[in-house]
Amino acid sequence: MSTPTSPHDHFFKESFSRPDAAADLLQCALPAHVIGALDLATLRTTKGSFVTPNLREHHTDLLFEVVGRDGSPALIYLLMEYKSSPERWVALDMLRYASDIWRDWLKKQTERGVPWPKQLPPIIPLVLYHGTDRWTAPADVAELIHTPAALARYRPHLRHELLDLSKVTDETLPVGIVSRVALLALKYIFRPEISERVVEIVATLNKLNECPGRLAYIRTVLDYLIIAAYELNAERLRQVVKEEFHEGDRVMPTIAEQWLQQGIQQGIQTGLHQGRHQEANLLVERLLRRRFGLLPQWAVNRLAMATAEDLEQYGERLLDATTLESVFHESGTAVTD
């Protein structure tokens, strides 16, 4: 599987690689007659990604195998579009991905020693969109092709289903803990309402109790919120975590506090280690604005001159700092320019 290239990619895959969470999502997104034709108890995630390198900045994906009620195999391809506005050519990208998926499926049949099949399994394509702009892209690749009537037979068709989270009410989201947390976080991650909805997200997380992978998933969610939620103040997240995890699990606020700090460091270091100094710089600037509001010019200037070591130090001080000046403070050095 390709290395995640964004916090959305990592969060999406950590959430929906789980068969129970994936099944919840599919029941929320696919038409009833499609769900009725599938045995979701047989759902399993396959390895690999079909998103091409040039599109990984905006797309991430998961492929599932499932058995139909008639006993025949089917594939479900879940593509997440994590731009804040829709991409018109998603249906064309989906056609390419579907072709690659079928070729990969044929290759695997050969590797398993299965006789060469005469037909391919159906692919059910599903796009998950959580942007703030209205989705207007065509659902069928045929709608992207201008075809005179005489040439209509040469126009390909591949229609995908769409789950646009902006059109889904919170009340109709799944009740499964991981799927509900994931879809709430994805729905509000770009929106100002995240500051209020984070209460339900964290409270729902607290219901995981002692299930396998509990701590790992809690950390995944907190990392996602601290790195990707532009409208969520770090102090607000810290407050909610302390309040929601206080009852019945007194150690969690301390652990979560450490994770919030580590999440900031991880986001900064990932950018620096991948040679994306500007990306790490922007992350620090965004976190500072979320904590302290509009930055004065001296702080903007200090960030512009910051080295990689400076950025890591600013990240270490960020959550504990009570003033903007204390983030930039160095012994014997003037704070303002």
What does 78-130 look like in DSSP terms, one character per residue?
EEEE-SSS--TTHHHHHHHHHHHHHHHHHHHHHHTTPPPPSSPPPEEEEEEE-
Q: Tens digit of pLDDT for each residue in 81-90?
A: 876 677 889 9
CA distance 295 to 10: 30
CA distance 222 to 194: 13
Task: Tell me the mean pLDDT in the region 106-126.
Answer: 90
- What was the pLDDT predicted at 152? 93
CA distance 298 to 121: 60
- What was the pLDDT predicted at 335? 52
Residue 95: other Cβ atoms inside 10 A? 20
What pTM did the predictor assign?
A: 0.75
- What was the pLDDT predicted at 3? 44
Q: Lowest-confidence range among 61-75, 99-113, 204-218, 246-260? A: 246-260
Task: Tell me the mean pLDDT in the region 61-65.
Answer: 96
- What was the pLDDT predicted at 74? 97
- pLDDT top residue among 268 and 193: 193
DSSP letter string over 247-279? TT-TTHHHHHHHHHHHHHHHHHHHHHHTT-HHH
- What was the pLDDT predicted at 260? 56
Residues pairing with 167 in the sheet: none
Q: How confident is the model at residue 120 (pLDDT cuts 50, 70, 90)?
A: very high
Locate 25 and state its tokens.
């999502």
- pLDDT top residue among 183 and 211: 183
Task: Tell me the mean pLDDT in the region 94-119.
Answer: 90
> Does residue 2 have a pLDDT over 50?
no
> Does residue 332 have a pLDDT over 50?
no
Dihedral, 324, 230, 15, 239 alpha carbons, nearest 10: 50
Burial annotation 199-230 (CB, 10 A radius, 16+ → b, else e): ebbbebbbebeeeeeeeebbbbbbbbbbbbbe
Distance, C-alpha 1 to centroid of its chain:
16
Locate 61 and state its tokens.
């994906």
- pLDDT top residue among 17 and 4: 17
- What was the pLDDT predicted at 320? 64
> Does residue 246 have a pLDDT over 90?
no
Locate 26 and state its tokens.
């599919």
Residue 332: other Cβ atoms inside 10 A? 4
Task: Tell me the mean pLDDT in the region 53-60.
Answer: 75
Q: Lowest-confidence range among 24-38, 53-67, 94-108? A: 53-67
> Does residue 78 have a pLDDT over 80?
yes
Task: Tell me the mean pLDDT in the region 183-190.
Answer: 95
At residue 180's C-alpha, the angle toward residues 178 and 184, to 5°, is: 120
> Does residue 329 have a pLDDT over 80?
no
Answer for the pair 125, 81: CB distance below 8 angstroms, yes or no. no
Q: Mean pLDDT, the chain, as a whole number?
A: 83
Task: Tell me the mean pLDDT in the region 90-105.
Answer: 95
- pLDDT top residue among 230 and 330: 230
Q: Tens digit of pLDDT for each residue in 206-243?
A: 888 766 677 888 888 988 887 788 788 777 887 888 78
Q: How confident is the model at residue 4 (pLDDT cuts 50, 70, 90)?
A: very low
> Does residue 164 have a pLDDT over 80?
yes
Give the range with max mean pLDDT: 111-120, 143-152, 248-257, 302-311.
143-152
**The amino acid at 285:** E
Q: Lowest-confidence range among 7-11, 124-128, 144-148, 261-265? A: 261-265
Q: How confident is the model at residue 257 (pLDDT cuts 50, 70, 90)?
A: low
Residues pairing with 73 in the sheet: 67
> Does residue 98 have a pLDDT over 90?
yes
